[in-house]
Amino acid sequence: MSEPTIAVAGLSFVYPDGTAALHDINLHIHPGERIALLGPNGAGKTTLILHMNGIHLPQQGTVNVSGLPLTRDTVMEIRRRVGVVFQDPDDQLFMPTVWEDVAFGPQNLGLEGAALDARIHTALAAVEVADLADRPPNHLSFGQKRRVAIAGVLAMEPEILVFDEPTSNLDPATRRELSGILRGLDLTQLIVTHDLPYALELCERSVIIDRGRIVADGATRLLLGDGDLLRSHRLELPYGFDTSLVG
Amino acid sequence: MGTGHVHALYRHGDSSLHRLPPHLKVVAAFGLVFAIVATPREAIWAFAAYAVLLGVLATVGRLGVRFVASRMMIEIPFLIVALMLPLLGRGERIDVLGLSLSVSGLWSMWNILAKATLGLLTSVVLAGTTQIPDLLRAFDTLRVPRVITSIMGFMFRYLDVVLGEFRTMRVAMQSRAYHPTWLGQIRPYAQTTGHIFIRSYERGERVYLAMASRGYAGHMPRRLGTRASTAAWAAGLAVPAAAWAVAAIAWVVR
């Protein structure tokens, strides 16, 4: 089998206040996969993704990104390889214009001049917002902000894209447009969500995490068809959902 | 939440003043303000000349009287303080409309009034013809310390976000039948401000995480603007040069 893009082994993490956030996490994500990470609020989803790009370093266990172990020395390279799109785009778009925001990451990697321009143009075009380059982020719609936030991460040319609740606060049309964009990106993806139909639509495989432990890992259709499993981990399909799609 | 396509201080347009490279406008504005401040207060004609110069610039920038006047309102509290000076000043006094006013206080008032008004007018013309991101880039081009331009950039970026949060909280208070009287509104608004402070602090932490995730290692990238042509420099520097000439004459004929 190919080298996993993400290989997490025996990962445990306790916050300084004593809260155990992750316990013995084992997870492999292979190149080209699009995986959903499901779990109720407070399950440890965000803590896990903050380990994938080195915001947190492992206290116990290991995190490898395309074979490179996460350590204090490899943090910068790991952050280039793992692009995280955070939940609130206002947290992620901190520069005065869209162009400058998308340029932020590549500039930190040392890009400049024509190479930088080309990188930014490609990233903006991939999410269809090239016309917004000169706009200040505060004058964009929420859906546009979400796209620009993705462009800012794409400009780093990561090996895996991690989305933290990508559909939160999106109207149905924008949510559908976003799924088109995610499908169109030729990249390994990890989508952290509690939007179960979205996971079903986009991801063949899902991982359920609860109370810091991985409790299920398998085909999304099968996991979402297991009512007892969902109920026991405070996950629910929306009212009126066509259950013939799962199980 | 948003406040329209452009910032409130900016007037969308395509005048020659709008097109001038931003860092050049900043240099010209600073030069002009220095000339105004350096002019002796007794040279009333010189301040009239600056006012005419700024009037011409505002006209070239197609800013409009209403736009400029509404943005000058911020000066009013300072003017009130300045108006007190003739009453509080010491030394020789004269009677004006039955009021005994200090002569040196009157000169001080005039000095503050003229210089503050003209200085503010300069910044209104600058901000009215230059988008804020361009201004920030101009400061970077002029090698203003990056930490200062970064703070200014974050302030600009998050001002609307924080004001939006404040508006949402105010609507939430009003939706629960909170109809403030002038004095009664102070306490809940103070509490709201405290909440917004905490929220902003937490947002700051999240923004830092997002920055670190994209390779931030303690240094913000410098944003350089376009280079200005010699002709643009000549046009831009003509304004402060004229002002410095006026200031010099004012000192000579004093």
DSSP lists the bridge partners of residue A207 as A37, A217
- Nearest chain B residue to A134, by CA: B133
The predicted-structure confidence for A81-136, as pLDDT tens digits, reads as follows: 999 999 999 999 999 899 999 999 999 888 989 999 999 999 999 999 999 999 98
pTM attached to this predicted model: 0.81
Nearest CA among A179, A214, A216, A185 for reference residue A199:
A179
Q: What is the pLDDT of residue B2?
A: 38
DSSP lists the bridge partners of residue B99 as B96
Interface test with A, best of B149, B154, B213 (most A CBs within 10 A): B213
Give CA–CA dist A24/A193, Å, rounded.
21
Q: What superfamily does domain A6-235 belong to in CATH?
A: P-loop containing nucleotide triphosphate hydrolases (3.40.50.300)
The predicted-structure confidence for A27-49, as pLDDT tens digits, reads as follows: 999 999 999 999 998 899 999 99
The predicted-structure confidence for B207-219, as pLDDT tens digits, reads as follows: 999 999 998 888 8
Interface test with B, best of A49, A72, A85, A90 (most B CBs within 10 A): A90
With 80 as the cut, is the pLDDT of residue A247 above it? no
Q: What is the pLDDT of residue A83?
A: 94
Predicted-complex ipTM score: 0.81
A55–B215 C-beta distance less than 8 A: no
**Phi, then psi, of A15 in degrees rounded to 5:** -70, 160
Residue extents of the structural domains in chain A: 6-235
Question: Shortest Cα distance from B220 to chain A (angstroms)?
Answer: 8
With 50 as the cut, is the pLDDT of residue B1 above it? no
Interface test with B, best of A50, A80, A93, A108 (most B CBs within 10 A): A108
Give CA–CA dist A157/A151, Å, rounded.
10
B2–A139 C-beta distance less than 8 A: yes
* Chain A residues lying within 8 Å of B5, measured CB to CB: 139
Q: Please write down the HEC assignment for all residues of B49-69.
A: HHHHHHHHHHHHCCCCHHHHH
B215–A109 C-beta distance less than 8 A: yes
With 90 as the cut, is the pLDDT of residue B183 above it? no
The per-residue pLDDT of chain A, averaged, comes to: 93
Question: Shortest Cα distance from A86 to chain B (angstroms)?
Answer: 7
Residues of B with CB under 8 A from a CB of A: 2-7, 131-133, 136, 153-154, 156-158, 160-161, 203, 206-207, 209-217, 221, 223
Mean pLDDT of the A56-62 span: 95
Q: What is the DSSP letter of B180?
A: -
pLDDT band at B32 (very low <50, low <70, confident <90, very high): very high
Q: What is the pLDDT of residue B160?
A: 82
- Cα dihedral angle (B80, B84, B86, B88), rounded to 10 degrees? -160
Q: What is the pLDDT of residue B4?
A: 43
Considering CB atoms only, which of B2, B207, B215 is closest to A79?
Answer: B215
Q: What is the pLDDT of residue B6?
A: 55
